[in-house]
Structure 1
């Protein structure tokens, strides 16, 4: 039997994608402008976020390589045979499936589309040392170029369709937040509360997007000492009266991540904790007021730093004050050029979507110990910003149970 290195697997009709064909064509046109600017013949995208952004297909790697080859006139998803026709159905453009019959058939499929001796762009921040060697060995490019920064810059400014999807995501996160608030009571475990929020969000996503894929939505609901880190996983810790709680809802809609994060207390809040909580809420309000077109990320950061320093709290800040939203997740993708940090000088402009999320962490044993975090998502407009997170923050609503 002659086994192929790659083949076409157009099994079934195209599915309804997260966006219309015109949206993907506009994104590809922007990418081709990058190719033209740098004199490239093709680009090989390998990250989950860029492949999803330009094609609509969000892959599940499981140790296998995936790619999207974009030339001046073609867009081809390169996928593994284990996925059969799913990449074809869920992508805008063409697809090519490589087989497992011989090692490196993935690269042979890439070469089939691009050819050898061409000027080829890649994502240097995603290629391992091993795959960088294979990139050179198989493609034998006359010139290579890292186009990851340019694609990130393109992704940072959202289209109207993207903003509409992100706004739906923020509303879904709110649904999860209310479900969690209604579930919290003394004696439950963190995992019990988290499951209620996750189930509510997934049900809401399915209602809003009946033709979507459903995966990867999650909740981190933390209590007591577990609130000290923003990304601490859920545990079986049992909730107790007086606990500081951290509500974190993360719906995923077709690769688009949104978030709702709130400080809460169960039953009562002591004076020391209330002081820190109110200070963080005040910083949150102040920070959101700074997110306007023309603001510089580093300058916003320094202003909030000064706000905390005046209250002798800056030493308890644990990370930057916000980040971009779009095609990203906790295990892939990030638009690092749009973060509220001291070393980011990006200027906010209409179409950008960014969070405000100050966090203070006081160590165990101190009065007011725990992690305090509020998080809203704002869409930058022509003259100001719209807060698309509607779940309330602060002690007036989030002293529960």
Structure 2
């Protein structure tokens, strides 16, 4: 039997993508402009976030490599045979399938589109050392150029269509938050509360986006000592009266991440806890007031640092105050150039989307022990910022159960 290295399996009709064809064409035009500036003849993008951003296809790797190859005239996703026709149905542009019959058929597929001896753009922050060596072996590039920074900067500026999707995601997160609030009571396990929020969000996503693919939506719901880290997994711990809680809702819509994060207490909050909570709420409100065009991420960070220093609380801060939104997830994607940290000098501009999420963590041997965090998503506008998070923060609404 003659078994091919690659083939095209355009099975069925193209599916509805998260955005119109014109949106993807505009993104590709922006990429090609950056390629021209860098002298790149073919871009070989391998990350989930960039492939999804420029083509609409969000791959499931399971140990296999994937790519989007962009040239002056072509945009072709490269996918594994195990996926059959789904990558073609769910991508903007062409798709080429590689087979498992011979090792490195993936790179043969990439070569058939990118060519040999050309100036190749790639993502240095994603391609492994082993795959980089294979790129050199199969494509024999005259020069390689890292496009990771250029593509990140493009993704940081959201289109109107992206902002509309992000706003919908924020509303889905709110729905998850209310479902979690309704599920909180003494004796309930963290996992039970988390499932209530996740189910509510998935149902809301399916209602709003009936033609989408559904995956990756999740909740981190933590209680007591488990609130000390922002990304601590859910456990089977049962809630007790007076517990500090951390609500974290993460709806995923076609690769686009949004979030809702809130501090809550079961039944009552003791005076020491209430004082720290209210201080963090004040920090949150102060931080949101600083988000406007023309201000750098570092400047916002320094202002919040000073605010906490005046209250002798800065030592309880554990990470930055916010980050960008778009095509990202807890296991892929990150627009590291738009984070509220001391070492980021990016200036906020209209069309950027960023969170404000101060967190104070007090150790177990201190009154008010636990992790306190509020999180809202803001869209930078021409003269300020629009808060697109609706679920209330603070003690008046979030002492429950």
Name the TM-score, length of structure 1 as normaliser. 1.00
- Could you report, residue by residue, the CA deviation over 1:145-167 in whole angstroms, capped at 9, with x for unpaired residues? 00000000000000000000000
1:116 aligns with 2:116: yes
Q: Distance in 2 between matches of 1:90 and 1:348?
A: 33
Q: Deviations over 1:318-342 (max 9, x none)?
A: 0000000000000000000000000
Please provide the CA RMSD for this pair: 0.4
Mind listing any 5+ residue stretches in structure 2 that lack a counterpart?
none
What secondary structure sits across from 2:265 in the alignment? strand
Q: CA deviation at 1:2?
A: 1.1
The residue number in structure 1 matching 2:399 is 399
Q: Deviations over 1:235-272 (max 9, x none)?
A: 00000000000000000000000000000000010000
Partner of 1:222: 222
Match of 1:158 in 2: 158
2:287 corresponds in structure 1 to 287
Q: State the distance in 2 between where 1:373 and 1:73 align.
A: 47
SS in 2 for 1:221: strand
Give runs of aligned pairs for residues 56-71 of structure 1, distance below 5 A.
Answer: 56-71=56-71
Indicate the residue corresponding to 1:234 in structure 2: 234
1:303 counterpart = 2:303:
yes
Is residue 98 of structure 1 aligned with residue 111 of structure 2?
no
Partner of 2:175: 175
Query: What is residue 129 of structure 2 aligned with on the other side?
Result: 129
Deviations 1:189-221 (A, max 9, x none): 000000000000000000000000000000000
| 1:273-300 superposed Cα distances (whole Å, 9 cap, x missing partner) | 0000000000000000000011110010
Displacement of 1:400: 0.5
Name the CA distance, whole Å, in 1 between partners of 2:227 and 2:97: 44
2:20 aligns with 20
Q: Deviation at 1:73?
A: 0.6
| TM superposition outliers: structure 1 runs of 4+ over 4 Å | none
1:228: Cα distance to partner? 0.2
* Alpha-carbon distance between aligned partners in 2 of 1:166 and 1:399, rounded to the nearest angstrom: 28
5+ unaligned residues in a row in structure 1: which ranges?
none
Counting only pairs closer than 5 Å after superposition, residues 1-400 of structure 1 correspond to structure 2 as 1-400=1-400
Counterparts of 2:41 and 2:313, CA distance in 1: 53
TM-score normalised by structure 2 residue count: 1.00
Distance of 1:119 and 1:9 partners within structure 2: 29
2-structure distance, mates of 1:15, 1:126:
28
> Partners of 2:41 and 2:312 in 1: how far apart?
55
What's the CA shift string for 1:304-354, capped at 9, x where partnerless?
Answer: 001111111000000000000000000000000000000000000000000
CA distance in 2, matches of 1:351, 1:248: 25
C-alpha separation between the residues in 2 aligned to 1:64 and 1:38?
29
Tell me how far apart the structure 2 counterparts of residues 83 and 115 of structure 1 sit (CA, whole Å).
24
Task: Give, in whole Å, the separation in 2 of the partners of 1:9 and 1:151.
Answer: 29
Kindly state the Cα deviation for residue 355 of structure 1 after the two structures are TM-superposed.
Answer: 0.1
